[in-house]
Structure 1
Amino acid sequence: MRPNWDDVQEGSALPERVVRLDRADLVRYAGASGDFNIIHWNARAAVAAGLPDVIAHGMLTLALAVGTVGDWCGDPAAVVECGGRFAKPVVVPDDAAGVELRVVGTVGRKCVDRTVRVDITVFCGGEKVLTKARAVVRLA
């Protein structure tokens, strides 16, 4: 059921979302976004840049977080603002399993203009990889 502004309460949790990423997902995202930075597909270049291995695009991580909010509100176009801080890189191993991300969100504030601020955190391996992330959503 889609949330209604009158019924949403500050502090209420959004449904948790778990997403698995593998190297093929990074290639697809690179093609869609046009971000072909070598650290997102070449392990030697990633290590030479001081990273442990190939990492996911930061904007891919943010997109997955904001997509969780869009799923919750039932209309991705209702998200009118978003942003976040990339706290740690998401290392994506070169195997079939990939890496698991866990997205959690909470309604942080209801505003008089019928929007709500959703506070989001993304975890990878128990560590926060996206912090201070927020999405502002206009609800019916």
Structure 2
Amino acid sequence: MSGTGLAVLVVVLVLTAAVGLLLRARTGRVRGPGRARGDGTGWELAGVAPAGRRALLLQLSSPVCAPCRQTARVLADLADGDPGLAHVEIDVAERVDVARALGVLRTPTTVVFDARGAELLRVSGVPRAEELAAALPAERPRM
């Protein structure tokens, strides 16, 4: 292997490692909204009505995604412990339109909507339960 080829290989390996570490650091962290919506679209995409709930935990998953099952457990536990939360899981293989509408590029992704349908936050990867619970609205806003 020539000196130039070796240098290119080292640069590619370093960049790959840096991108991997960055993605790993961001996985599961709560972020602000992606494509913010305030028109009830989140609830409509999920096929449920707010019905007195203050937030929707919309999980976008795929059938071959192992972290998706872990995410489903975390979100189901949060929703089971709080009647103000609704958890809906959507298979992006069956509902590509939802993933496209929300700009979701990887699974699992959790998008949280408030009672009006405005996007509050996103989590790519398995959410950290404590961090997600702390970021959720405390009570349903008055309309």
User: TM class, shorter-chain normalised?
Assistant: 0.3 to 0.5
TM, length-normalised to structure 1: 0.33
Question: Which protein is bigger by CA-based radius of gyration?
Answer: 2
Higher relative contact order (CA 8 A, sep 6+): 2
Higher helix share: 2
TM, length-normalised to structure 2: 0.32
Higher strand share: 1
